[in-house]
Chain A
């Protein structure tokens, strides 16, 4: 790994070595090129704050949980990721989504994957909830759920069952499968998320014990039901579905007859 140096010759060497590294990776763009200034390029991620105050999800998810889960766990993953990035610039130039896929390395995850994926997963999870959430989706999302699950009740049952039968740590997702062009409920272990299979997640639920232990101890069923009834943000689901439909053709549009 090249370090910052004032020697113009070593800056050039840095450039050459960078280019030979980039030839190994198909995605490398936006490389540090051209400038002969001896400056060090580093990529750092910041901890994204949830779109609500830490006590906004009370009494369903306590402020204490948010402070621990976001402030310690999520922050820890971000710092771990930055430490990895400090050591190697091979992973520079990616967006978060691309980084997840790149570090997953087609099923043989690189050591950075755990931190990258967990940062992404938690960003997604905070945004999957809102104060005053729960209830039912409307319009397009509801229609698609009814199409793919039969009814919202059936979807809800499937989601809860998946959460309660997951072995160990992991996540539950409502995901839009790209190939099959339908919504499904899937479980993933540890840090894995649907991006690695090129699918589009709509909402997620963290089933790692740290997500619910302070509030619900071992009562997983209560936690999952509370999430469905009071926390899940169908508003966010709708905007994610709208975006997903730009990539997945879910059927003929209703063209009004003039």
Chain B
């Protein structure tokens, strides 16, 4: 099973850059690889969910984002203001979906590769300062994530201007910046039903409880350290 998923990930286009170039230099996007196998996050997140989530959902966002970008490019060239504005919804939704999921894959890592290990260094200290304790942060994110009505995300973000950590939720595929222009996402958890339904059914709180076992705090710490040297 591991071998099969290994082959699957390796046949996808490898590359640090997940972009391509169109005819007129319009930059389009391709599905970024995962750093781990689909089954590597079990039992917290099933391999079936990971594969569907990555190969179907994320891919669909990218496909539709590219389509919307092409249409936008044409509309801008033609000077078609109403089409340009009309496309903003599709751009925000599909582009947001691509941005959010790209971050999400990096926010996860197998348990035997450091998944779930609490943050150390400056991020760990900042969490204690702003939330009291690591456990308090987890509780807050679980509560807010469970309370999201419909589809959305729950984020641990850094408010760049005041170097403050915040927990925010966004609806649908709105990226974190829609809640504040100076917000940098450190960790996002997808609470769309497709992220957990096959495994946890409607019990979103169980999904939220378990996902912490595969959260990649090292990556979050790196992002934080870059913004707050």
Binding site for B on A (CB under 8 A): 68, 72-73, 76, 114, 167-170, 189-191, 208-210, 213-214, 217-218
Contact = CB atoms under 8 A, between A and B. Distances in A.
10 tightest A-B contacts by CB?
A: A168-B172, A209-B193, A169-B150, A190-B150, A168-B151, A218-B56, A167-B93, A213-B197, A169-B151, A72-B202
A164 to B, nearest CB: 11
Contacts, number: 51
Contacts of A68: 201-202
A170 B172 CA distance: 11
Nearest to A165: B90
25 contacts: A68-B202, A76-B202, A114-B149, A167-B89, A167-B93, A167-B172, A168-B150, A168-B171, A168-B172, A170-B150, A189-B150, A190-B149, A191-B150, A208-B150, A209-B192, A209-B194, A210-B193, A210-B197, A213-B194, A213-B198, A214-B197, A217-B56, A217-B198, A218-B52, A218-B56
Given A72-B201, A114-B149, A208-B150, A213 B193 contact: yes
A198 B87 CA distance: 30
A191 B148 CA distance: 13
Contact of A208 (B93, B172, B193): B193
Interface residue tally of chain B, by bracket? 20 to 34
Given A73-B202, A168-B173, A213-B198, 4 more contacts: A114-B149, A167-B172, A191-B149, A208-B193
B60 interface: yes
A214 B194 contact: no
A190 B198 CA distance: 20
Nearest to B97: A167
Contacts of A209: 151, 192-194, 197
Interface string B175-219: 000000000000000001110011001100000000000000000
Contacts of B52: 217-218
A65 B192 CA distance: 18
Contacts of B197: 209-210, 213-214
A121 to B, nearest CB: 12
Contacts of B152: 168
